[in-house]
Amino acid sequence: MPKEREKESFASLGDDIKAARQVLNISRRELAEMVNIDPRYLANIENSGSLPSLPVFYQLVKICKLPVERYFFPEAGEQDDPERQRTAHKLSLCPKQYLPVIEGAIDGAIGIEEAEDA
């Protein structure tokens, strides 16, 4: 039974890698070369749910800037709904120069107004 639970916690890995790769504008072949694996192996991870070896997993998570805790401690992320998880992941991929714009949009959405200097 632990094997099934283990597999469940990695269920989104392939989709997460594919989404991050697309956001980072990296082709499957380029990412495979960066990790030193065959592009077909990466395609199997992304599309078929194949689990990579630990060294490959480490490189993919590092390059794609994926949150490791999602895979090793899934119960910690169960509180977050999928929209929050996707948004948090996209935020982690966002270049720093755009963060003030995103923060302003969030502040506007939740009704926080900055105090004006008088």
Domains contained in the chain, CATH given: 2-78 (1.10.260.40)
Q: How confident is the model at residue 7 (pLDDT cuts 50, 70, 90)?
A: low
What one-character DSSP code corresponds to residue 116?
A: P
Say how far apart CA 51 and CA 58 lie, in whole Å: 12
Reading phi first (left if > 0) and then psi (alpha if -120 to 50, else beta), residue 36 is in left
Q: What percent of the chain has pLDDT over 90?
A: 44
For the segment 65-88, what is each residue's pLDDT rounded down to a tens digit? 898 888 887 665 555 677 877 787
Q: How confident is the model at residue 5 (pLDDT cuts 50, 70, 90)?
A: very low
For residue 117, the model assigns a pLDDT of: 40
